[in-house]
Each structure stands twice: as C-alpha cells, then as structure tokens.
Amino acid sequence: MQVEVWSDVVCPWCYIGKRRLEAALERFPHRDEVQVVWRSFQLDPSIPEGETHRTLPALAAKFGRPVEDVREMMRHVEETAAAEGLHYDLANGVSGNTLPAHELIHLAAERGLQGAVKERLLHAHFAEGRSVFDGDSLAALAVEAGLDETEVRAALADHRYRAAVLDDIRTAQQLGATGVPFFVVDRRYGAAGAQPADLLLQLLERAWSDTARSAQQVAGRP
C-alpha cells in the first residue's frame, strides 16, 4: 500500500501531519507493507529563488491583519505542535522559495533516504532556525541525513529534479489539493489537512480492507 503525502518543508501543519501519520502507522498492523512517498507542494511559489523574508510580517501583510493577531495565530499552531512533541518558534521564522528543497527530496528518494531528508529539513527549519533555501544550507543538511555532498550540489546546480517537482505540484492540483498536508492512499482515498492520528489510522484500515476485499473478488472468493 502506498501513502503519498503532498507537503512543503516550511508548512507548520505539514510537520504536525507527519507526526500524526507516524503515530497512525505505529498502530497499523500492516505498517511494514506501507510505502510513504513525500510529494512536492509550495505554499508560496511567488517568492523569488534565493530571496528570504521574515515570515511574521509577511503573513500579516498577506492577511491584512495586525502583527499581534498573526503572532497569536502562530502561538496556537505552536501549542498544537508541542502536543506532537515538536517545538516551533514561528514568530522568528524565515520564508523563501522551496523548489531547491523539493529537488533535494526527489534526489533522496532515489537514494532510499527520502524520509530521512524530509525529516531533516523540517526539523532544521522549525526547531533549529536553519535555512532550507540555499544550496550551501541544503547540502550541509543533506550530508547530515546521509547523502553525498558532491552529488547533492550537482543535482541542485543542474536542476535535474525540477521537472519531477513541478509534476508533483500539477498532480496535486489535478487531485483537488488546495492546501497541505494532503494524504492520498493508493490514489483512491484521500484526507486533507493535519488530521488526527485516529482518522489517518481509519483511512489506512479502510484502504487495506477494501483492497483485500477486491483481491478476494478477483480470486473468486466470497
């Protein structure tokens, strides 16, 4: 069974959703037969590559809300994250274009390290305040997760995974995803948002049960 998750490395709810999916998988009897694939999505593709800005004032301007209102919204997200064992400092966060980060995640998938790199980038951004936007920062984090630095730098320089990233984004649009995290099981069942672990477990159980029932019908068994 394959679980695809569309998310962005600067999406606070995506990290929360990742933890909740992991909690659901821990309780799923067939978890060893589940493949989790991380798909690309950009919260703000309008930011020019190479540029960064402080997240708090940018969100306040985007929503047309006072900075303190947005700060309070961030506190709510931080409290939700803390309940999942995550420690955020959103008010001091920085945003940028995440296309290179998603290219790195595609490289990691080919090397069997996609989960490790995804986790490393999320933790670096939210828990450590490290950049996930420039080549030097991404190369350092990739090495920490087990990738080869020379290969990482070459892949980021020639954008060999750019087409795959853009294809993920187009697929999300075709599936009707307007926000992330967006969970899809076997391209048949979906859930939008950082759903509770119980709901994600129900999604996994339903998909597994329906697949098993279909297999029995094909085999001619009741």
CB 90 within 8 Å of CB 74: yes
| DSSP calls for 148-188 | -HHHHHHHHHHTTTHHHHHHHHHHHHHTT--SS-EEEETTT
Percent of the chain whose pLDDT exceeds 70? 96
Spatial neighbors of 201 by CB under 8 A, at least 6 apart, are 24, 27, 28
pLDDT, mean of residues 28-37: 98
CB 77 within 8 A of CB 13: yes
**CATH class label, 2-218:** alpha beta
Distances (CA, A) of 26 to 22, 34, 62, 167: 6, 11, 38, 30
- Check pLDDT > 80 for residue 217: no
How far is the C-alpha of 157 from the C-alpha of 30, rounded, in Å? 40
The 10s digit of each residue's pLDDT in 168-193 is 999 999 999 988 999 999 999 999 99
pLDDT tens-digit map of 108-119: 999 999 999 999
Q: Would you state the pLDDT for residue 211?
A: 83
Q: Tell me, what's the pLDDT at 222?
A: 56
pLDDT of 218 > 70? The answer is: no
pLDDT at site 9: 98
Domain ranges within the chain, ordered by starting residue: 2-218
121: CB partners within 8 A, 6+ apart = 9, 101, 104, 105, 132, 138, 141
